[in-house]
Chain A
Amino acid sequence: MTNDQIKQAVLQIISVIAPDEDLSRLKSDVALREQLELDSMDFLDIVMELRKRYKVEVPEADYGHLASLDSCATYLEPKLKDK
């Protein structure tokens, strides 16, 4: 997956977890939590969905890398390069 595809994939997951949020104006370089009402359970959901859909594991210690769309893509790119 390319960097852009990963962002789309994460956005797709967020749209399921937070169906009421308007994601069209989301800034990819700003923390998700600053733009959306996401709590720690939502981040757990994102991790679970990533595992389910792409078989990628995000260890507890790396949750910080999921802060913004950009940082998600940078972090996940090497893990998803063959998918």
Chain B
Amino acid sequence: MTRDWLKGVKDEYDAIIIGSGLAGMTAANRLATCGYSVLLLEHHYNFGGMATWFKRKGGHIFDISLHGFPIGMIKTCRKYWSADIAESIVQLKGIRFDNPQFSFTTSFDRADFTDKLVNHFKIPADTVEEFFKFARGMNFYDDQKITTRELFERYFPGRPDVWRLLMEPIAYANGSTLDDPAITFGIVFSNFMSKGVYTFQGGTDKLITKMKATLKANKVDLRHHALVEKVLLEQGRVAGVVCNGRTIRAKSVLSNANLKSTIHKLVGDEHFSPEFLREAAAVRLNSSSCQVYMGVRKGESIPYVGDLFFTSTHPEFDTEALNSMAVTSRTYSFYYPDTRPGSDRYAIVCSTNANYADWITLSEEDYRREKDKLIKGVVDTLERYLPGVSAKIDHLEASTPRTFEYYTRHMAGASFGTKFEGLKISQNLSKAIGGLFHAGSVGIIMSGWLGAINYGVIMANEVDKYLRQDVAVPAPVREETPPAMSESHV
């Protein structure tokens, strides 16, 4: 007999949250502080979704998605979590680039980027100023037709080196390409440029532990090993979920699962109009990732070589090459002892973007071979910059799109949710099915730690609105533009 992970769960809640990613946890916290009864169901044994970490023999600890986020996280954590969480956020100052077009270290903020663009790339100061102003001014209500490519053509024509500086880090941060709407670049880029790149001191484990404690203090019923199989509907409205085979009723359900899985698997196509399904089918998933985790042996150290390192031997920025298995464009995150004050350990995590399709078709044997190749490429490249480092590494492991799919259940192992068009579908889900909401990486701009948390808040507001209506009467059809989307969400 397996353990009953739902022991003590009540028969009904005001809100059930499916998934404990940052958006799911934040929405749960907001709703609980509004006084609602909230149940959070997570299929994994850990909370946090992609905001996660794992431990390995030898005292190693690896963070998956703690590479950096914009300063906006401080305010967001203070408002929607606690001052205590916000206070652990610190700046990462050494962001390094090395590729055939340029090689330097930057603090990755507007002042230093202006200096690099003017003095290194010889772009007129006025152009740089205008570009920053334009990018910062972009918000959701702007023309969404212009692509990032067109934006770059306008300000930096014929300058693939500048394009790479501007684009490569953002492509890593949210999987966006030159052909996505420029707003997906403008918002995220401007958020970083505001004050640089920040991290959570103490590691992802500390953050999630604190969030869990806050959720418990606010009386959220938290459950892991709890896989939601189905969202239950009655008369076209949400009535609850089936989790681990058990029915739990709820007035509202907010899904933090992937948008497409929510629609097609958790609800089922038969409950949507053909028109809605057509629009949902057109939503493209974002790319996936590969990572290589390198643990430095206890007692060994590596010199400070910066915090984030973007390296490539590819001649210029190129989305296809960035996602391909033969990729040479990689981001290394260096974790020094002060990542977790009190520790004396070093770790390095290398991330690359990846196509799910490339990895899913491989036989077990080919899969293993490709993983080994991935690891070798990553370590050999690092050895060029840090001679002798491979001898200090005593744990090596890789994850691929298959790994991400397995742990998060995201379709195609999508690392950053969906492309831009997914946002509208996500926002309109409750119009199609009363009481059903989605919050989680969508539309590129609502991804990343900051985007996910803020989107959790935005959707908690919608759930609150819904629950305050007399839930016995059908929800009125709302004609709305998405809630105030602008500069600060991501």
Question: Which residues on A are within 8 Å of B, measured CB to CB?
Answer: 17, 39-41, 43-45, 47-48, 51-52, 55, 57, 59-61, 63
Contact = CB atoms under 8 A, between A and B. Distances in A.
B485 A40 contact: yes
B483 A48 contact: no
Given A40-B487, A43-B484, A63-B484, 11 more contacts: A39-B487, A40-B484, A41-B76, A41-B489, A44-B461, A44-B484, A51-B465, A51-B468, A55-B468, A60-B481, A60-B483
A48 B79 CA distance: 13
A57 B465 contact: yes
Contacts of A51: 464-465, 468
Contacts of B489: 40-41
Contacts, number: 45
Contacts of A57: 465, 468
A48 B487 contact: no
B166 to A, nearest CB: 23
B262 interface: no
6 smallest CB-CB distances across A and B, nearest first, come from: A40-B484, A39-B488, A40-B486, A60-B480, A48-B461, A41-B488
Contacts of B465: 51, 57
Contacts of A39: 486-488
Contacts of B34: 52
A63 B458 CA distance: 14
Judged by DSSP, the binding face of A is helix
A44 to B, nearest CB: 6
A44 B458 contact: yes
A48 B139 CA distance: 22
A55 B34 CA distance: 12
Interface in B416-464: 454, 457-458, 461, 464
Interface residues of B, number: 20
A55 B486 CA distance: 26
A35 B486 CA distance: 19
Nearest to A55: B468
Given A51-B464, A51-B468, A60-B481, A44 B486 contact: no
Contacts of A17: 79
B279 to A, nearest CB: 21
A44 B484 CA distance: 7
A13 to B, nearest CB: 12
Given A39-B488, A52-B34, A44 B464 contact: no
11 contacts: A17-B79, A39-B486, A39-B488, A40-B485, A41-B457, A43-B484, A44-B461, A44-B483, A48-B464, A57-B465, A60-B483
Nearest to B78: A19
A66 to B, nearest CB: 10
Nearest to A61: B480
Given A40-B484, A40-B486, A41-B488, A47 B461 contact: yes
Contacts of A61: 480
Contacts of A41: 76, 79, 454, 457-458, 484, 488-489
A39 B485 CA distance: 10
A42 to B, nearest CB: 8
